[in-house]
Chains A and B, each alone.
Chain A
């Protein structure tokens, strides 16, 4: 397994897994951060107590649910005005700098799901948000890579933007790569390519605009990295003890856009 630059080797500060502050490291193929929801760096926000447990092995997180007996669009990241689905979060921080809503933040995620753990119609979201402990979509302001899976079918990977999503599926696809760009107080957009792990050939591609100006005006608000779990569609329920197993990786960085403007 590759070593992730979670901490800058030159300053010791958390750096989002991207380029160290010194030493001339390249932007070519920087290492992703592996999401281990049990490593102590993530905080769970679960307003309706739907998470029974989480474990991590071989790069994959296994989430075991309590019963979600009454279906609701509140647990579908791709619908409605409320986000009440469980999510883990941490600061979106690079070299000790918390990425704000005014920073031009480029965030790339890679999502995989374990198709053998196919208990319910599931979804996984790996992205950036403003307030992960809120439930109003306007306050959460989340966007990122997204994967859904209807039991017995191929997963569909793509991007979630605010309270909507676009995804694509194909039998050959093993993982989804998504890059979002947010900044200047706008939520921006997401693009994705879904690929085959055998030769990394892309089989599907797509994009989605958020068309959203985030909470506040030009006042910088801190952002968080978030891993959300939920149901694929608003009519879906989850039985007690049912599981989903997924791998999530990410890189976050902030180019000096203002510094590049003459």
Chain B
């Protein structure tokens, strides 16, 4: 399970960067599975479908926040 904690999205200046802070929540089971499968030394890790699933959760929330 992964989701963005939408009510906690912040628009402001964070450490001098003007923009959005988007908190992503990942369940323990999924976090463990993601990290076990992730190899930072292998350029094709994580797989595209896994990356896209995370990216879409993030981008859907960011898009919604930016359109408010």
Residues in chain A within 8 A of chain B (CB atoms)? 76, 78-79, 148, 156, 158, 164-169, 204, 206, 232-234
**12 pairs from A and B in contact (CB 8 Å cutoff):** A76-B16, A78-B15, A79-B15, A79-B16, A156-B13, A164-B14, A165-B15, A165-B16, A166-B12, A166-B14, A169-B12, A204-B12
| Cβ-defined contact, B13 with A234, below 8 A | no
| Cβ-defined contact, A168 with B12, below 8 A | yes
**Cβ distance A155 to chain B, nearest Cβ, rounded Å:** 11
**Cβ distance B64 to chain A, nearest Cβ, rounded Å:** 19
Cα distance, A78 to B16, chains bound together (Å) = 8
Interface of B is mostly: strand
| Cβ-defined contact, B15 with A206, below 8 A | no
Within B4-36, the residues touching A (CB, 8 Å) are 10-16, 21
Residues in chain B within 8 A of chain A (CB atoms)? 10-16, 21
Q: How many A-B residue pairs have CB under 8 A?
A: 35
Leading 9 A-B pairs by shortest Cβ distance? A168-B12, A167-B13, A233-B16, A156-B13, A164-B15, A166-B14, A78-B15, A167-B12, A166-B12
- In this complex, what residue of B is CB-closest to A192? B12
Contact residues in A for B11 (Cβ distance below 8 Å):
168
| Cβ-defined contact, B15 with A156, below 8 A | no
- In this complex, what residue of B is CB-closest to A73? B16
Q: Which of B11, B12, B21 has the most C-beta atoms of chain A within 10 angstroms of its own C-beta?
A: B12
| Cβ-defined contact, B16 with A206, below 8 A | no
Q: Which of A79, A148, A166 has the most C-beta atoms of chain B within 10 angstroms of its own C-beta?
A: A166
Contact residues in B for A233 (Cβ distance below 8 Å):
16
| Cβ-defined contact, B15 with A168, below 8 A | no
**Cβ distance A227 to chain B, nearest Cβ, rounded Å:** 20
| Cβ-defined contact, A158 with B13, below 8 A | yes
Contact residues in B for A164 (Cβ distance below 8 Å):
14-15
- In this complex, what residue of A is CB-closest to B16? A233
